[in-house]
Structure 1
């Protein structure tokens, strides 16, 4: 976030570009909500904006979504929605910690607001989050745990997942050699085309040599270590059309880092998953895949050739993983409207209705003490305390009168 803030200062200084964009008079901006700077740029341009978040509800606290630590796992907790008592205690503490962390993140961007907005109108990052006309999350409840949303929060995942096209002939010939065993796809996402840790590469390569399936591994062949013999059933490719491969009838497994787009494509095509989480939301994403019974995950630090090969065989040979993957595929594919049509419809609705003010709750305008009902709780507590005090005083008075009358009669 410090890097984003430094980049944002530089971006906001590009006055020529900002002035040009202002003159274009755009109706709306669709922004990447993972980078907070996009909110400041849109606000500076005076353009209403729709915020698109790339994954699970990691920033739910910032936008005021209803949250309950009882069944909604905090970001990075790696819990499911079914927690035992100790997990709920830990989850609650992580929620409290999330408020602190979020406050520190937002404080990083306060200097941008102070420097580039006039006195009397210096929005905080939280203000800009809550000003979004619409929030779009790249998730689907075939993967994500069910949770309450607000009217201006929508989920459109699987925009890249679609019916598969035929793969190239040379790839098809390689797959055909697998016979009934099929093939698996190994890719660690767009950010990591080559695994830099050679010990891990060696263990994975040896594991692939001990399974029946053919392996299509996205790996930059020019970076392959010359003295390491490639497993005979493995084909290295600099780039793969993951969607088309996952839609192939002989696909058996996707080995992935756990990025949301990869998981959405796996769900769409009903392909079991073996995850190797590396950073960010990938750990939580794969917890959800395991909770949906359509895959497993393993830390890269724990990978040895034997346990990795055993895990591959377990998922491929145990048909329950494929059954669960197909069940989630039905959930995703049978949505009332395709995600691209939903997205287009909502964007048009926001433009035609002049914004999404009718979708945002009034809670955004409440002070924090009113939102948490602290004023109401204080009032009720004072009233109850007052009533209890009066009752005690009356009872003490009656007791005093009773003893006084008794003493007078005895006298």
Structure 2
């Protein structure tokens, strides 16, 4: 066949295929993210949404740590906010680590809890002030209305995005693991405290009586936080700007879709709901080649392999004495070490240890030379370690990190050393155990196989459900109406009261009848005797 005929047929078929491809109109998405490590998650999702043709607007604070004002991914709306929280946060982190090093005690626990609740209260107050400024600015409100967004995508660890969606009457998608007070499941799904551990409790799904008491105590702290520290700030805004009023918990329960950054390879099994979509590990991808100098350093380790260590985005360095102890242990090991450390250089550092300000964590975890990941237990790092099958030696510092690492330890894929217990001896024992006991790597690789064995990649799931909400202008059919019920109806206490009343009336009536019959029989007997 002549070449020009072949080309003509190819062009014809291409035109036909294009003609039969369903159109995909880009949506218009308003994003209200949370700063810090939460933004890393949100940005990865925004990159994929942008690549698929969606228009994105991001609301950010003028004092934002990581969210730039200008980006090829989105246009931004900048809110004026007072600076200073970052300094307060750094002071809290340092004080937290210092208190842990002094040793565990009831006094230390209550002090850390008080400081944490105080910090959370300040953060929410700052954001409610910023939201008030938005609602009071007619030009900003008009521009938000005129933009005709299709939905609001927000991280509900802070609640302004949730309230803004209600104000603009837009469908709501949550990129979530944490809400304003604790873990997201607890406000949307049945959560029996007999086997579902409250974050911060340090418990698993197997609890004895004393541990169940402890679990309820920690749940009480969560309720106190929401009722007295977080809720009142947002309630005031709801009462002023939302017709009919509202509260944060009800607004969360009204959300159309929950993109939940976890999965049951990692999480303990528990009840869930149809509008909760699990996207744990959605940020994970196959490893890319390392920069040439880093690849050369990794390969120089030979058969011994490489250990990598990082404490995430929030902590630049451990206390000096801890860093020196860890560095001295690394110096004695045959492995090469890559350590993200931005504080004072440890005096005991060895020639085998490379100190860096930043590392390509995903690519290093996916490198065949990487043997152990020394980490603080942040959600991103734990999920990336699972994806690449690298066992973890964990040093939890604060927030959810101990709970994350506990889940790995329960599955035999990691080991925890508390910061208070870190010294040369304990760290050396821990690193050698994870490095030389094959069960840690085998268990983690089993988790990796389970995590990867899914009908649809977590990122594809996330994008599908965001676009699903845009196509159908919400997903109310997946949402429970239970949140509209008063608490006594939810737990059927009114039904129980009715049944108890009915049974009581029946028993009393039966008793009264028997008494009446007995008394009548006695009177009849006496009258016959006379």
Q: TM > 0.5 between the two?
A: yes
Which residue does the alignment assign to 1:135?
258
Which residue does the alignment assign to 1:210?
332
Q: Is the 8 A contact 1:277 1:299 kept in 2?
A: yes
Post-superposition shift, 1:345? 1.1
Worse-matched range after superposition: 209-218 or 10-19? 10-19
1:106 maps onto 2:231 in alignment = yes
Which of the numbers 65, 71, 74 marks the counterpart of 2:195?
71
1:230 maps onto 2:352 in alignment = no
Q: Is the 8 A contact 2:331 2:348 kept in 1?
A: no
Which residue does the alignment assign to 1:301?
420
Which of the numbers 478, 481, 486 marks the counterpart of 1:362?
481
Aligned to 2:354, the other structure's residue is in SS state strand
Q: Is the 8 A contact 1:218 1:236 kept in 2?
A: yes
Which residue does the alignment assign to 1:7?
127
What whole-Å deviation, never above 9, does each CA across 1:300-325 have from its counterpart, x for those lacking one? 12100111011010111111111110
Q: Following superposition of structure 1 onto structure 2, how do residues 5-404 of structure 1 map, counting pairs within 5 Å?
A: 5-14=125-134, 15=137, 16-54=139-177, 58-62=183-187, 64-104=188-228, 105-115=230-240, 117=241, 120-195=243-318, 197-220=319-342, 223-225=343-345, 228-404=347-523
Q: Is the 8 A contact 1:270 1:322 kept in 2?
A: yes
What whole-Å deviation, never above 9, does each CA across 1:263-301 have from its counterpart, x for those lacking one? 110000111111111111112111111111100111212
Q: Which ranges of structure 1 fall in alignment gaps of 5 or more residues? A: none
Q: Which ranges of structure 2 fall in alignment gaps of 5 or more residues? A: 1-119
- Of structures 1 and 2, the one with the larger relative CO (CA 8 A, separation 6+) is 1
- CA distance in structure 2 between the partners assigned to 1:54 and 1:86 by the alignment: 27
Q: Scaled by the length of structure 2, what TM-score is found?
A: 0.73
Aligned to 1:358, the other structure's residue is in SS state helix
How large is the RMSD of aligned CA atoms in angstroms?
Answer: 1.9
Q: Is the 8 A contact 1:9 1:112 kept in 2?
A: no
Q: Is the 8 A contact 1:211 1:309 kept in 2?
A: no
Q: Scaled by the length of structure 1, what TM-score is found?
A: 0.93
Indicate how the Cα distance of structure 1 residues 401 and 97 shifts in structure 2: closer, same or farther if over 3 A, else same: farther
Indicate how the Cα distance of structure 1 residues 395 and 209 shifts in structure 2: closer, same or farther if over 3 A, else same: farther
Aligned to 1:61, the other structure's residue is in SS state helix
Q: Is the 8 A contact 1:210 1:309 kept in 2?
A: no
- CA distance in structure 2 between the partners assigned to 1:352 and 1:146 by the alignment: 32
- CA distance in structure 1 between the partners assigned to 2:463 and 2:174 by the alignment: 14
What whole-Å deviation, never above 9, does each CA across 1:45-104 have from its counterpart, x for those lacking one? 332220111459713333x31111121111211111111122123223433443333222
Indicate how the Cα distance of structure 1 residues 100 and 410 shifts in structure 2: closer, same or farther if over 3 A, else same: farther
- CA distance in structure 1 between the partners assigned to 2:215 and 2:521 by the alignment: 55
Count of residue pairs brought into register by the alignment = 404
- CA distance in structure 2 between the partners assigned to 1:123 and 1:164 by the alignment: 45
Post-superposition shift, 1:211? 2.8
- CA distance in structure 1 between the partners assigned to 2:283 and 2:267 by the alignment: 18
- CA distance in structure 1 between the partners assigned to 2:366 and 2:253 by the alignment: 39
Indicate how the Cα distance of structure 1 residues 162 and 138 shifts in structure 2: closer, same or farther if over 3 A, else same: same
4+ residue runs of structure 1 moved beyond 6 angstroms?
Answer: none
